[in-house]
């Protein structure tokens, strides 16, 4: 298993291939549907005006995400009243919902990795080649185990989105993932889709 700590260099990303197991350590930021839509509309396409402290958050995110990782995760978090935050569950969210946004977000913030489950599509795969970046597949159904890799919650942005959709800044140690989309155009998800389609086409061709 390869060990990587954020910020991750372009060279380290280029060295990763589909199938590599990686233990991630360092700072990463969670982000789901609301966060990606907000980042695209406010800072990339600029179709909505920044509100409140959006510009300040943008500057903080540019520092935090530069060479780092976005985790598609809607965590269960304790300590909301005292702000002594602790992750109780931190399983991956299905990533394909971020397909319209992910490549642009990776490029804008120089994100080197995206963690989720289920994989992503051709636009994100192209973004992985250009940024460069990789898609890391995390273990579905292991939310409690993955939460144990979170050493510290450093803060949170956009709590007005709600706890699952907010952008949590976390520090992890040995977070286990597998590369399933790399910066060389490789995608295990595309391979599986194609193989599944062939099987389905074969079944549909059989006379009954």
pLDDT band at 194 (very low <50, low <70, confident <90, very high): low
Whether residue 205 has pLDDT greater than 80: no
Q: Are strands 113-116 and 167-181 parallel, antiparallel or unpaired?
A: unpaired
Domain architecture of the chain: domains with CATH: 2-205 (3.20.130.10)
pLDDT digits (tens, 9 = 90+) for 116-147: 999 999 999 999 999 999 999 999 899 999 99
Radius of gyration from C-alpha coordinates of the chain: 18
Contacts of residue 201, defined as CB under 8 A and 6 or more positions apart, other chains included, come to none
pLDDT digits (tens, 9 = 90+) for 20-63: 999 999 999 999 999 999 999 999 999 999 998 999 999 999 99
**Mean per-residue pLDDT for 144-155?**
97
Q: Is 108 a catalytic residue?
A: no
Distances (CA, A) of 136 to 43, 50, 100, 106: 25, 31, 18, 14
Position of tokens 């982000």? 31
For the record, the structure tokens of 171 come out as 């520090």
pLDDT digits (tens, 9 = 90+) for 61-99: 999 999 999 999 999 999 999 999 999 999 999 999 999
Whether residue 208 has pLDDT greater than 90: no
pLDDT the model gives residue 198 = 59
Q: How far apart are CA 170 and CA 87, in angstroms?
A: 9
Position of tokens 């060479």? 67
Q: Is 205 exposed, middle or buried (0-12, 13-18, 19+ CB in 10 A)?
A: exposed
By mean pLDDT, which of 48-62, 97-111, 179-193 is the weakest? 179-193
* Closest residue by Cα to residue 153 from 138, 166, 137, 172: 172
Q: Which of these is catalytic: 36, 72, 137, 189? A: 36
CB atoms within 10 A of CB 21: 11
Residue 58: in which H helix or E strand, if any?
A: helix 54-65
Question: Regarding predicted confidence, which is higher, 203 or 184?
Answer: 184
For the record, the structure tokens of 114 come out as 């995206």
Whether residue 167 has pLDDT greater than 80: yes
């Amino acid at each position: 298993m390869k060990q990587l700590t954020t910020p991750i260099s372009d060279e380290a990303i280029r060295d990763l291939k589909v199938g590599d197991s990686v233990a991630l350590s360092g700072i990463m930021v969670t982000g789901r549907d609301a966060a990606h839509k907000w980042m695209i509309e406010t800072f990339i396409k600029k179709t909505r005006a920044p509100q409140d402290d959006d510009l300040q958050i943008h500057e903080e995110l540019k520092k935090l995400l530069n060479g780092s990782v976005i985790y598609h995760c809607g965590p269960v978090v304790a300590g909301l009243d005292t702000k002594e935050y602790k992750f109780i569950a931190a399983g991956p969210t299905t990533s394909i919902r971020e397909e319209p946004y992910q490549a642009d977000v990776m490029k804008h913030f120089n994100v080197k990795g995206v963690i989720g489950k289920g994989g992503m599509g051709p636009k994100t795969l192209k973004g992985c080649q250009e940024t460069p970046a990789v898609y890391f597949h995390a273990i579905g159904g292991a939310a409690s185990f993955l939460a144990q890799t979170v050493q510290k919650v450093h803060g949170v942005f956009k709590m007005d989105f709600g706890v699952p959709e907010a952008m949590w800044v976390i520090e992890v140690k040995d977070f286990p993932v597998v590369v399933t989309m790399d910066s060389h155009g490789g995608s295990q998800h595309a391979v599986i889709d194609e193989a599944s389609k062939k099987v389905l086409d074969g079944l549909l061709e059989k006379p009954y």
